[in-house]
Amino acid sequence: MASPEASLGLDVTVEAWAVSGVTALPARISAPIDAIAPARSGARSSFPSADRHESGHLDHFVVGKRLGVGGMGAVYFAHDASLDRAVAIKILPDELALKAEAHERFIREAQAQARVSSPNVVQIYFIGRVPGESLATPIPGAASAGPGSLYFAMELAPGGSLEASLDRGEHLDPDLGRRQMIHVARGLRDAYAEGIVHRDIKPGNLLLGRDGAVKIADFGLAKPRDPNLDLTRDGAVLGTPLYMAPEQAMGEPLDHRADMYALGATFFHLLTGSPPFDAPNAVAMISKHLTAKTPRVRERVAAVPLRLAAIVERLMAKDRAQRYATYDDLLAALDAAAPERIEHAGFWTRGAAAGIDLVLASLLIGALGAFGLVVYIAAIAVAHGLYGQTLGKYLLRIEVQRLDGGRLGVPRALARTLASLWLPFLVALLILLTQGLRALQGNVVRLAKIDSFRELIVPIIGSYAVLTLLYVAGFVIAAFHRQKRGTHDMIAGTHVVYRLGPKQGGAPRSTATPRRAG
């Protein structure tokens, strides 16, 4: 089960000083870091187990159970008595309560988050002071007068964070990950429209709302584009090393493409179950982001579609100019990466394709004898393995695929072909049982001696009419199976579908929602 910190996206953040050159990157860590793993339950809590805020009141909020704690605040469940709704409340921790710089950052987080009106950003409702603690920094517009630490009330996201799947050792279904990337990209686009770069996108800061929409939280490191509002020191590097953009690690001026890099690294982790890079400490991890080759998504999880993997890898390009120019460009690419609509090939279409292929088989066997059968089986296996289509399937625009949509490969295609030949073996067995071995041998010999197309016409019209009916019997299970898969498909892990969408590498269709399997 995910820890409270993971559920609310409160984990360790690194602050380092960037210097020229990759190898000379001394880390100046702003908080203890169990290297770069997400914070776990009990880590760095400055709030005692008997929390004085629990069951208390802050203005018109009734504070409930503490849900999680991180470097810049503890988060509590609370009830907004004025509007009768559940909220989350974030309170600055004890060791930061008397530090003006921490208060400035806390206020900036609330103000930045409140400026963004987006269904994919956690909304801020109220900011106020915790009574009884002294501090001289005023809060413009705060309801509570007098000294005190800070808190703000925000939208409650009951679904927890995307980090929970990582805590369970899981990785996201590819299309669910694609749709969640769309949510985050929309939220980042809305934030950037207000001049805000988040600078700390990671699984723990992406929360699930009641409707399943992903919402961006924790704008504590958000940086306005207005240079007059820069509250970080020159050369300071803020962020989480697992997902940090190279230009962010070097302390360079940032734009929305730094958040794009973090988005790509985050979903690389979520889609594969492992972070893009592995390193023993924060400095080594930052060095990997600066110099190491971008890893391939499909080398970790082959089931991730090519187009989605390409998007994630482009987001993680070292050179920010190679990433997407705008969020609209990114959203268009994610939209176009929606899976093709799957419509399984029907009973009669597959039967007709099989009939065409049987004619081809008869020609080969008639011309080459037994060797023709070997050639036919090899040709069918190669055609299915590399292209998903035989002549019959090509003419009727259907193809055979693995269940994940990929190509079969020759070994799997050969196994499927051999499994599909059970019917000829059954016919041979029937001849053997009813007419004897000599009759079976005679049929084979007569077939092998046919040496002209003219002599094949009568066998095709006569015996293959019967053979086609028998072959159709092999698809009886397909007539009742919901996915229209024959026995050999179930053995080989394949299905036959109509080729409705573009071929791999062609121009993708754009759609806002994933297409449903037929």
Residue pair 87/155 in contact by the 8 Å Cβ criterion: yes
Spatial neighbors of 29 by CB under 8 A, at least 6 apart, are 14, 15, 16, 282
Residue pair 191/224 in contact by the 8 Å Cβ criterion: no
Tokens of 46: 């400055």
One DSSP character per residue, 267-283 reads HHHHHHSS-S---SSHH
Q: Which one is catalytic: 11, 200, 218, 489?
A: 200
Residue pair 346/375 in contact by the 8 Å Cβ criterion: no
Spatial neighbors of 48 by CB under 8 A, at least 6 apart, are none
Residue pair 246/318 in contact by the 8 Å Cβ criterion: yes
> CA 209 to CA 42: how far, in whole Å?
25
Label residue 94 exposed, middle or buried (CB < 10 Å: 0-12, 13-18, 19+): middle
Residue found under tokens 């028998």: 470
SS3 content of the chain, % helix, strand, coil (to 5): 45, 15, 40
Annotated active-site residue 200? The verdict is yes
The enclosing H or E element of 126 equals: strand 124-131
From the list 495, 400, 174, the residue with the least C-alpha distance to 307 is: 174
One DSSP character per residue, 317-362 reads -SSGGGS-SSHHHHHHHHHHTSPPPP-BPPHHHHHHHHHHHHHHHH
Residue pair 515/339 in contact by the 8 Å Cβ criterion: yes
Tokens of 503: 């071929």
Tokens of 266: 């985050």
Output the CA–CA distances (angstroms, integers) from residue 230 to 236, 297, 322, 333, 517, in the order listed: 11, 36, 27, 33, 50
From the list 211, 317, 220, 326, the residue with the least C-alpha distance to 268 is: 317
Tokens of 492: 């080989």
Residue found under tokens 């679904």: 159
Spatial neighbors of 47 by CB under 8 A, at least 6 apart, are 53, 66, 69, 74, 93, 94
Tokens of 261: 């890099």
> CA 161 to CA 158: how far, in whole Å?
9
Tokens of 85: 């709704």
Residues marked as catalytic: 200
